[in-house]
């Protein structure tokens, strides 16, 4: 399995397990809507690139994770699919966090 897909699967599982995220989209995977009562009541949407620069790992260049967290504005009970089209395309007032985490390799 490619390293970027592995990172995507780990982050997806962690987001789902927390129960605070209704769904996410990433560079590796299109829109994923989490199922279940906790997800339906979740307050956040996450967009991410789980391992930015993964193609450069072989040449020992730093990689990182990029993510943005949006407040869910779609009323609970509406179609889960509408969450992404309404909430992630909304104005920047609903963007709660934008982050780039640099992951550096130590040594050779």
Ordered per-residue pLDDT tens for the chain, 108 residues: 588 899 999 999 999 999 999 888 888 888 788 888 888 888 888 999 998 888 877 787 788 999 999 888 777 766 556 666 555 565 677 888 999 998 876 665
CB 61 within 8 A of CB 82: no
Structure-token pair, residue 106: 């130590």
Q: Write the DSSP symbol of residue 41.
A: T
What is d(CA 90, CA 72) in angstroms, rounded to the nearest whole number?
10
On whether the 3-103 domain is CATH 3.30.540.10, my answer is yes
What is d(CA 77, CA 83) in angstroms, rounded to the nearest whole number?
10
pLDDT of residue 29: 87
Q: What residue has token string 């709660």?
A: 96
The domain locations on the chain are: 3-103
């Amino acid at each position: 399995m490619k390293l970027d897909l592995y990172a995507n699967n780990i982050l997806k599982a962690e987001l789902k397990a927390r129960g605070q995220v209704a769904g996410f989209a990433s560079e590796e995977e299109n829109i994923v809507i989490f199922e279940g009562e906790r997800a339906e009541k979740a307050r956040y949407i996450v967009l991410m690139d789980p391992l930015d620069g993964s193609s450069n790992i072989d040449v020992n260049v730093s990689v990182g994770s990029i993510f943005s967290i949006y407040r869910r504005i779609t009323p609970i009970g509406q179609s889960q699919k509408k969450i992404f089209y309404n909430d992630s395309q909304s104005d920047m007032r609903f963007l709660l966090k934008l982050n780039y985490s640099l992951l550096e390799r130590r040594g050779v």
